Each structure stands twice: as C-alpha cells, then as structure tokens.
Amino acid sequence: MRLERLTVNKIKIFLTSDDLMERGLSKDDIWKDSIKWHQLFHDMLEEASEEFDVEIQGSVAVEIFSLQAQGMIMIITVDDYIEDEEVLFDGFVEMQVRVEGCENLLYQFESIEDIIALSHRLFALNVSGGSLYSYNNRYYLNMNNIENSVVEKIAAFLSEYGNPSILSTHVLEEYGKRIIEDKAVETIRKYFK
C-alpha cells in the first residue's frame, strides 16, 4: 500500500491486488459495501492519519478507481481536519508495495515533461522499452514485458511522475494516438537530453 498527499485535504491511497488479497478482499467486495471493506477503509484512514500526523475529522469523500492488473486507487478528500501547523503532507510514504504477476504497467501523465524526466531516470536504471500514447489531452506510457525482479522499482518511479491508468491498453490502441511504439524510454532520452 502506498500513501501520497495530493493537497492539504486530499490523500491518494494505492492498493495493489496483492494488498487486497492479503486483507481477504477482492475488488468486488468494495462495490458490495461489505463489512471487510468498511474495516479496511477505517484502517487506511487511521494509517494515513498516523503517517502524516493529521487528525481526520468531519465528512470524507472517497473516489475509487479500479485498475486492471495493478489494483486500485482511492482519493480521499477530507472536508474538516485538524493539522499541526509545522507538519505538512510533504511527498509520500511507501509501505510494502508489491506488484507481482502483472502483464504491463500503464500510467497516465499530465505533461510530456513528466515523461521526459521519468525516461531519464528509467534509462539510468537500464530500463528501456515501453509504448507512448496520447489520448484526451493526456499521455500514457505502457511498460510491458518487465522482469519480475524490477517491476516494483519501475512501478515506484512511474507513480512518482504519473498515476496508474484506469484505461485499458485496448482503449488506447483503438482511440488513442500511438506516438512511440516499444522503445519509448530510449527514444525520448535520445531526443530530449
């Protein structure tokens, strides 16, 4: 599970499919509004409260995005909260991220600059490949055929610059514009030094 502060009152929680299975949940339990799901939600709020040293009070809005192979993302918006003036949500906290058995990692990016910076970091780790798409004024990087030994590391870097996509690769193939096929990381690094 990974926590990240987006704004003063918004927290993003990324749960892998393994995280859900470890807690005895499936994605279907979330939509069914089960007791297990309520317990997980309260546990995540407590953990976020402890990690970011913020007392969460008042109403909470939750947006849930289910991701195919990667798991799910929850965006939690807190209307009222008490915050220690000196403690700011700065960056993110990484907690036991495991991404195993995934066919590909598909991430969405707001700007091409994010992908350029990411490509330089990935290339420095000897990571290459990936296909770059454009769709609805956003960019998508599909990293596939990744060795299991580096999937976790690549997912962490992708999450630093973008967000896991809720789109499928089939939608991108059909409706998106393919910019670079199969060699996105090295091509971007070559032309944007």
pLDDT tens digits, residue range 101-117? 455 788 999 999 999 99
pLDDT of residue 85: 34
Q: Is the pLDDT of residue 126 over 50?
A: yes
CB contact at 8 A, 5 and 77: no
Confidence of residue 133 (pLDDT cuts 50, 70, 90): very high
What backbone torsions phi and psi does residue 182 show, to the nearest 5 degrees? 70, -20
Burial group, residue 10, by CB count within 10 angstroms (0-12, 13-18, 19+): middle
**Share above pLDDT 70 across residues of the chain, in percent, rounded to a whole number:** 75
User: Against a cut of 0.75, is the pTM above it?
Assistant: no
**Domains, the chain, ranges and CATH?**
2-94 (3.30.70), 104-191 (3.30.70.1950)
Average pLDDT of the chain? 76
Confidence of residue 177 (pLDDT cuts 50, 70, 90): very high
pLDDT of residue 139: 95
Residue 181: count of CB within 10 angstroms of its CB: 12
Q: Which residue has better confidence, 69 or 174?
A: 174
Distance (Å, whole) CA 51 – CA 74: 17
